């Protein structure tokens, strides 16, 4: 247990060092972080990020409703527009001018990564993921609440798994100075870091939904409602 605590502390410390390097314009060193991500404390770190990080972001959402309403949707729309613009321009350049930027086939893929996983968080909040609502609506209130707790637990488990494994990939990419294909100085980890970030956002949405479910259960309100795709 002591090793796990020390390992998690090392990961947090190294993330702080990397952030400080970015702020000061220095080249971040991922070597110690990559080694720590292979140690005993990685799952404890992931557990803290999933629950403490998610609850902190949920608090930010409550404090600043504008961020709550617009964060994921803005990231999705901007990513989608950039993907469309790059593809549109490069098709014209390829077939009209017989030239093409070498990164035009790789950058859209990473932008799609951002759009997809922030969209996953967004739709958790809207409850438009598969939830068997027709079946659950026929259950009693206590079984319904039990199923909603199960949903939250499963989502947090997915967040823990993705945050830990994706951060390990980020550390490895940074340590090996992986560059986006077709570019000279665009690092792969700049894009990959959005994956654990997106699942911290997802964890926050799970907290929001669970708090809302508990409130409805206590007040006797209807708990299972039909989700609407694209609704608010």
Tens digit of pLDDT for each residue in 181-200?
888 888 999 999 999 999 99
Query: 33 to each of 73, 108, 194, how far by Cα in Å?
Result: 31, 28, 17
Identify the domain containing residue 108 by its residue range. 2-219
Per the structure, the count of domains in the chain is 1
Residue 231 has pLDDT above 60, yes or no: no
Residue 168 has pLDDT above 80, yes or no: yes
Tell whether 226 is covered by a domain: no
Tell whether 205 is covered by a domain: yes
Tell whether 230 is covered by a domain: no
Tell whether 88 is covered by a domain: yes
Whether 85 and 92 have beta carbons less than 8 Å apart is answered as: no
Q: Residue 196: its pLDDT value, please?
A: 94
Tell whether 169 is covered by a domain: yes
Share of the chain above pLDDT 70, in %: 96
Which of the listed ranges 80-84, 104-108, 180-184, 225-229 does the model predict with the highest average pLDDT? 80-84
Contacts 24+ apart (CB under 8 A), 78-81: 79/111, 79/112, 79/114, 79/115, 79/118, 80/115
Average pLDDT score over the chain: 88
Whether 51 and 203 have beta carbons less than 8 Å apart is answered as: yes
The residues pairing with 187 across neighbouring beta strands, listed in sequence order, are 179
pLDDT bin (cut points 50, 70, 90) of residue 230 is low
Tell whether 228 is covered by a domain: no
Tell whether 57 is covered by a domain: yes
Tell whether 225 is covered by a domain: no
pLDDT bin (cut points 50, 70, 90) of residue 227 is low
Q: Residue 135: its pLDDT value, please?
A: 75
């Amino acid at each position: 247990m002591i090793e796990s605590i020390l390992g998690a502390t090392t990961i947090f410390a190294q993330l702080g060092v990397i952030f400080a390097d970015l702020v000061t314009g220095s080249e971040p060193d991922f070597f110690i972080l990559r080694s720590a991500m292979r140690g005993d404390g990685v799952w404890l770190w992931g557990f803290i990020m999933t629950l403490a990080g998610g609850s902190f972001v949920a608090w930010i959402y409550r404090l600043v409703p504008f961020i709550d309403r617009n964060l994921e949707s803005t990231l999705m729309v901007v990513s989608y527009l950039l993907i469309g613009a790059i593809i549109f321009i490069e098709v014209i350049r390829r077939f009209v001018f017989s030239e093409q930027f070498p990164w035009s086939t790789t950058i859209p893929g990473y932008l799609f990564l951002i759009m997809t996983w922030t969209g996953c968080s967004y739709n958790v909040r809207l409850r438009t993921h598969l939830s068997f609502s027709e079946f659950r609506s026929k259950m009693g209130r206590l079984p319904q609440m039990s199923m909603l707790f199960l949903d939250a637990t499963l989502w947090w488990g997915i967040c823990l798994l993705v945050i830990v494994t994706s951060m390990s990939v980020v550390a490895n990419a940074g340590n090996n100075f992986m560059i986006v294909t077709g570019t000279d100085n665009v690092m792969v980890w700049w894009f990959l870091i959005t994956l654990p970030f997106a699942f911290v956002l997802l964890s926050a949405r799970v907290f929001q939904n669970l708090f809302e479910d508990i409130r409805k259960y206590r007040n006797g309100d209807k708990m299972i409602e039909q989700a609407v795709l694209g609704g608010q």
